[in-house]
Homo-oligomer: A and B are copies of this chain.
């Protein structure tokens, strides 16, 4: 295998992901795979849901964070780590760092959901708030690095992170080896690229679909044009999917992801509601994006086995999007 525009040394392969799975296994949950007859009926397929909403910290992000923290040298661990994140990676890195006795410096946009800030604090992360722009968060992180010597652990532009996120698909295919499709949400692309490497490595014929909000469609446009098309002003309820791809993740997504599928805000909320009402589990809007794609392609997967990664379950219960108009009465 080769990646045209990136050094393969910077990307994990299947063996790297398997090693990550062994490394993080004592520290994470093996999440269940759930099924739901009424959602199957709605989708016209047999759906399998990998419930990373039940993962530690409430999202798959603990996988990459735990892998990255485990790979730090002793000297690096003493200096601590820094990241910028709108939420789940921040909480996960805080928890993983604390488990190793390391300090986690977290740069968060001021408009991050309160529930995610609270989680970071609860896990001992030290928050620096910044304006919600790329420039502001990078400046804030740089300042911390200069002041403390902390090691940057980027939420997705990092081979250790991608390898960790890819362990989700490994477990998923151990549980359901004959999936025809695997669906993962895409934001910066850590989960999707790890999923593609792991899933195609284990099962070459599987089709990997990235799932993205129409209102934050940089991965869709990048895949179409063949180069990274940043998203300047994402405006989606899926607060975990507002980042844009980086060279490292795009290299994988361009070559090994079969398609990026888009869904509207209405489809995201409707899918979230269906998962809550039918499966009785809590998924966050970003996870509902993959469920929304699963529920919108009846013609494509008649009789197929479709795997959906429910990426997380961290929502602000005081700010839910369910309105009477969306009800099926």
Contact = CB atoms under 8 A, between A and B. Distances in A.
Interface of A: 32, 53-54, 58, 114, 118, 273, 276-277, 279-283, 313, 317-318, 320, 322-324, 327-329
A313 B280 contact: yes
A118 B329 CA distance: 7
5 contacts: A273-B317, A277-B317, A280-B313, A282-B282, A318-B324
A305 to B, nearest CB: 20
A276 B317 contact: yes
Nearest to A51: B280
Contacts of A322: 317-318
Given A58-B280, A114-B329, A318-B323, 13 more contacts: A53-B280, A54-B279, A118-B329, A277-B317, A280-B281, A280-B282, A280-B283, A280-B313, A281-B281, A281-B282, A317-B320, A318-B322, A318-B324
A94 to B, nearest CB: 15
**Secondary structure of the A side of the interface?**
loop
A309 B10 CA distance: 49
A327 B322 CA distance: 20
Nearest to A329: B118
A280 B317 CA distance: 11
Contacts of A118: 328-329
A125 to B, nearest CB: 16
> Taking each of A273, A280, A313, A329, which has the highest tally of chain B beta carbons within 10 Å of its own beta carbon?
A280
Contacts of A283: 280
Contacts of A313: 280
Nearest to A56: B37
A277 B91 CA distance: 15
Contacts of A320: 317, 320
